[in-house]
């Protein structure tokens, strides 16, 4: 039986990978404009990092992490998200000692053992940004502006920004008591997951896809914010308005990770099924202290590449692969000369290809046309004997003869002359 890819994974084949490269290029261009630098963290981390940072009561830690024990000693996990590893690197490498804020981005594979569905895989790819060192609501707005800029450049349409405040430890405790009192009367209709959340993180019950619609009259955190959190949320809205970024206040957004406080947000699309969140994030001012004993505020987001590529199938295109020169060669000696010629062209930054399948001359010309090459060099035994090879411009059909002796330099000269016409 043939071996196939594991369930929930997929191969990104050459025709599709060109779109991935284009998307990643756009993300890097936007990050450069906003002053973000790339960080690359390990693909696996100590399991404790995610238990501490993401939260031991979250679905990610309880159900979805891929963990393994190294030689019956230390437990490791394939990264299920990007933020915890970036914050660990920030504290471990003392990036906080440099002038702040620290603005970072990453493009990385992540892993979650969840049910595969459209745009969601067990190995998926995430682009994310993190800003550490600033408490300013203006930074929160900038983080959202990065995502908006990417959506605009990729042509993604009908994506809606939803924002909320999930408070801070100072105001969240009192709210949790009010929410638990409300939920206590609903325990008989809650799913098993929400019964567990009721004790550990009752606010996440409001985000449940199964139970959320049953709790329309629940109290919301946004109505119980302390003065500091309320002022921060109001300032965020003013900065978004100043940048003409449209948003909707959605008090049901809590995000699925324990480390969020104050700002929480999602960019949502209705075009990719029920799981419509394309990008989500928020503020995590206590995470660096939890992970690395360094108090440094932070905010960021994670954006799923697979989901954004689904949304931009019609707008984000990659240039077709082309070559400047194709060397059509017939015979052993012509083949040896072709190897020498294409190497010389490539060494001079000219994209070149040659026949490797021993095709007939007619088949090689068809293949060259399929590749979209600009010029073909015809080189066979007859050309080697006569000392003259044919150099053909494919679109017009115009051709000239070039001397076989010193043909590499003659080709470079002919290409330069064609460029000046």
pLDDT band, very low/low/confident/very high, at 184 (cuts 50, 70, 90): confident
d(CA 311, CA 279): 12
For 377-402, write each residue's pLDDT tens digit. 999 999 999 999 999 999 999 999 99
Pick the closest to residue 88 from 46, 55, 127, 129 (CA basis).
46
Length of the chain: 421
User: Taking a C-beta distance cutoff of 8 angstroms, is the pair 183, 191 a contact?
Assistant: no
pLDDT band, very low/low/confident/very high, at 57 (cuts 50, 70, 90): low
For 202-218, write each residue's pLDDT tens digit. 887 887 777 667 787 88
d(CA 288, CA 293): 7
Q: What's the CATH code, domain 325-420?
A: 3.40.50.800
For 122-154, write each residue's pLDDT tens digit. 999 999 999 999 999 999 999 999 999 999 999
**What's the mean pLDDT in 8-29?**
95
Q: Residue ranges of the domains in the chain? A: 14-168+226-311, 325-420
**What's the mean pLDDT in 240-262?**
89
Strands 388-393 and 375-379: antiparallel
Percentage of residues in the chain having pLDDT higher than 70 = 98
Beta bridge partners of 78: 44
d(CA 130, CA 338): 50
Pick the closest to residue 78 from 24, 12, 122 (CA basis).
122
Beta bridge partners of 279: 267, 303
Ranges 71-80, 183-192, 338-347: which has the least confidence: 183-192
Buried b (16+ CB within 10 A) or exposed e, 216-239: eebbbbbebbbeebeebbeebeeb
d(CA 57, CA 402): 73
d(CA 158, CA 271): 8
Pick the closest to residue 370 from 380, 355, 391 (CA basis).
355
Q: Which CATH architecture has domain 14-168+226-311?
A: 2-Layer Sandwich (3.30)
Q: Who wins on pLDDT, 169 or 239? A: 239
């Amino acid at each position: 039986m043939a071996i196939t890819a594991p369930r929930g994974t997929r191969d990104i084949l050459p025709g599709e990978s060109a779109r991935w490269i284009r998307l990643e290029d756009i993300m890097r261009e936007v990050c450069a404009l906003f002053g973000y630098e790339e960080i690359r963290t390990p693909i696996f981390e100590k399991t404790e990092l995610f238990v501490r940072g993401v939260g031991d009561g979250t679905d990610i830690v309880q159900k979805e992490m891929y963990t393994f024990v190294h030689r019956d000693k230390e437990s490791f996990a394939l990264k299920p998200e990007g933020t915890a590893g970036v914050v660990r690197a920030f504290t471990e490498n003392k990036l906080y000692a440099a002038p702040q804020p620290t603005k970072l981005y990453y493009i990385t594979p992540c892993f979650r053992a969840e049910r595969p569905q459209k745009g969601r895989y067990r190995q998926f790819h995430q682009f994310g940004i993190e800003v550490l060192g600033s408490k300013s609501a203006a930074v929160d707005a900038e983080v959202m502006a990065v995502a908006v800029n990417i959506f605009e450049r990729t042509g993604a349409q009908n994506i809606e920004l939803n924002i909320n405040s999930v408070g801070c430890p100072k105001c969240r405790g009192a709210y949790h008591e009010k929410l638990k009192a409300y939920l206590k009367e609903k325990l008989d209709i809650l799913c098993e997951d929400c019964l567990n959340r009721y004790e550990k993180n009752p606010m996440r019950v409001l985000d449940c896809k199964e139970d959320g619609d049953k709790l329309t009259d629940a109290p919301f955190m946004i109505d119980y914010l302390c003065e500091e959190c309320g002022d921060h949320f109001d300032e965020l809205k003013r900065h978004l308005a100043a940048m003409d970024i449209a948003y909707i206040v959605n008090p049901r957004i809590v995000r699925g990770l324990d480390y969020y406080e104050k700002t929480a947000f999602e960019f949502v699309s209705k075009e990719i099924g029920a799981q419509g969140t394309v990008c989500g994030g928020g503020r995590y001012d206590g995470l660096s202290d939890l992970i690395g004993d360094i108090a440094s505020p932070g905010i960021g987001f994670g954006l799923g590449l697979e989901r954004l590529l689904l949304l931009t199938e019609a707008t984000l295109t990659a240039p077709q692969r082309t070559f400047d020169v194709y060397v059509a060669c017939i015979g052993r000696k012509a083949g040896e000369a072709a190897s020498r010629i294409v190497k010389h062209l490539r060494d001079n930054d000219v994209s070149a290809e040659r026949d490797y399948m021993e095709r007939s001359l007619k088949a090689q010309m068809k293949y060259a046309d399929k590749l979209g090459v600009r010029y073909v060099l015809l080189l066979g035994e007859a050309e080697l004997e006569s000392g003259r090879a044919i150099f053909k411009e494919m679109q017009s059909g115009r051709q000239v003869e070039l001397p076989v002796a010193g043909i590499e330099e003659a080709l470079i000269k002919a290409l330069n002359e064609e460029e000046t016409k």
